[in-house]
Amino acid sequence: MGVSMSEEKVTVSVIKADVGSVVGHSKPHPSMLEASREVLRDAQKQGVVEDFYVTRVGDDINLFMTHYKGAGNRDVHGAAWECFQRAAKIAKSMKLYAAGQDILTDAFSGNVKGAGPGSAEFSFVERKSEPLLFFMADKTEPSAYSPILSRIFLDPFTTTGLVIDARAKMGFDVEIQDVMDHKKVVMSSPEETLSILSLLGDTSRYAIKRIDSRAGIGPACVVSTDKLNLTAGKYVGKDDPVCVCRAQSGLPSVGEYLQPFVNPTIVAGWMRGSHYGALYPCSPEDSDPVYFDGPPRICCLGFQLNDGKLQGLEPMNSKNGEHVPVDFFKGETWNKAREDAIKASMLMRSQGPFMPSILGPEEMEYTSRPEVLSSLTSRFENIE
Ligand code: 13P
Ligand code: 13P
Ligand code: MG
Ligand code: MG
């Protein structure tokens, strides 16, 4: 505990859930975030987590945690579960919207998987310097990261490092999940790049779970894909996803990770989980959905890891222990990308309740079609 032994693996766990928000699907009440901080402060005192940071994107509470207990640890997941229980209780007491939305079971069974919250975790030996990026998205789904991670890890016109950094040039192993058949496959870039893209292009079926370095650096990034399965017999694919990344020195640089967000990426999941819109890069402070429950937001916070602790910009001798991450999408540099995202989202909206503004029939979170069709059974006639 405290100081990592050089070969001991540190684990970064991000566990997130929407357990209710103020005014529709907008934002959690600040007291819900504070209750989560209290739970994690206790967990830190008890040695369950090494360090933590609590934030949000739109209506989703995100818990960043570091520890030496490995992925899927009962105590770490239990602490996250407790955060969401307390926050949901507050949300219910205030009659907030969709209070307890992502809590799908009554009893904690040792892991949040299958219980509603999403998680992205990876373990690695901490390098001499370990820059971490935490991407958080609201009003979209895990495969939203597929086009972005494809540009970062498969496209040398985005990541020049794939050409000029000898270790990045050795390529990456990409774990892809098949939602429908509940299977996964690991494919290697650059050899299989075009085949990887052939799968990932179908964002309704395939999503990237994680990407590993082939130069022995370990994991590069991991995405929360927990709900990409059949939960309780019903397909629940939409879950506002997080993606945690390690950067630099044989991995994409921080700037290479950020490059794809200049383009408006069209993703599924805003308004009733049933529409396509463009990802809007912004600060968590600016992540309230304000236009048609969106547009889908993407935030990026950065920390350096320091012997398992999250090192941000907090002032020297800071007393309250609250971290200050680098907020990459906050500044004016992204104004043009934001304008483009609004423009693209408005174009999608101008199509009304027609595809491609709305999702394909098998992906719609809301649909009245079965009732409409059954009411028309006796009226449908064969065409001569
Ligand atoms: P520095 O030369 O500032 O370390 O930057 C290297 C780098 O990788 C920037 O992307
Ligand atoms: P969330 O998934 O962020 O709760 O949004 C639900 C929705 O459909 C908003 O229109
Ligand atoms: Mg919500
Ligand atoms: Mg949300």
Q: Which of 21, 23, 57, 59 to mutate to test the pocket of ligand 2 (most atoms within 8 A of CB)?
A: 59
**pLDDT at residue 100, rounded to an integer:** 93
Indicate whether 233 pLDDT > 70: no
**pLDDT tens for each residue of 35-80:** 999 999 999 999 999 999 999 999 999 999 999 999 999 999 999 9
The tokens for 287 are 């992540």
**pLDDT at residue 106, rounded to an integer:** 86
Contact by Cβ (8 Å): 222, 121 = yes
Contact by Cβ (8 Å): 137, 240 = yes
Contact by Cβ (8 Å): 100, 92 = yes
- List all residues whose CB is within 6 A of at least one atom of ligand 1: 248, 253, 255
Number of the ligand closest to the Cα of 161: 1
**pLDDT at residue 1, rounded to an integer:** 47
Indicate whether 280 pLDDT > 70: yes
CB atoms inside a 10 Å sphere around CB 253:
17
The tokens for 259 are 């490059």
DSSP 284: G
Nearest CA residue ID for atom 8, ligand 2: 272
Indicate whether 339 pLDDT > 70: yes
What is the average pLDDT value for the chain, to the nearest integer?
94
**pLDDT tens for each residue of 340-365:** 999 999 999 999 999 999 999 888 88
**pLDDT tens for each residue of 169-225:** 999 999 999 988 889 999 999 999 999 999 999 999 999 999 999 999 999 999 999
Q: How far apart are the CA of 253 and the centre of ligand 1, in A?
A: 8
DSSP annotation string for 169-184 = HT-EEEEEEETTTTEE
Ligand 2 atom at minimum distance from 293 CA:
10
Q: Is the peptide bond before 295 cis (omega within 30 degrees of 0)?
A: yes
Side-chain-side CA neighbours of residue 279 (13 Å): 32
Ligand 2 atom at minimum distance from 271 CA:
10
Q: Is the peptide bond before 252 cis (omega within 30 degrees of 0)?
A: no
235 is catalytic: yes
Indicate whether 2 pLDDT > 50: no
Indicate whether 4 pLDDT > 70: no
Ligand 2 atom at minimum distance from 18 CA:
4
Contact by Cβ (8 Å): 247, 257 = yes
Residue of 107, 213, 120 whose CA lies nearest to 168: 213
Residue of 187, 197, 263, 245 whose CA lies nearest to 14: 245
**pLDDT at residue 43, rounded to an integer:** 98
What domains does the chain contain, in order, with CATH numbers? 1-125 (3.30.70), 129-371 (no CATH)
**pLDDT at residue 366, rounded to an integer:** 87
Nearest CA residue ID for atom 4, ligand 1: 248
> How sure is the predictor about 238, in pLDDT bands with cuts at 50, 70 and 90?
confident
Longest pairwise C-alpha distance within the chain:
82
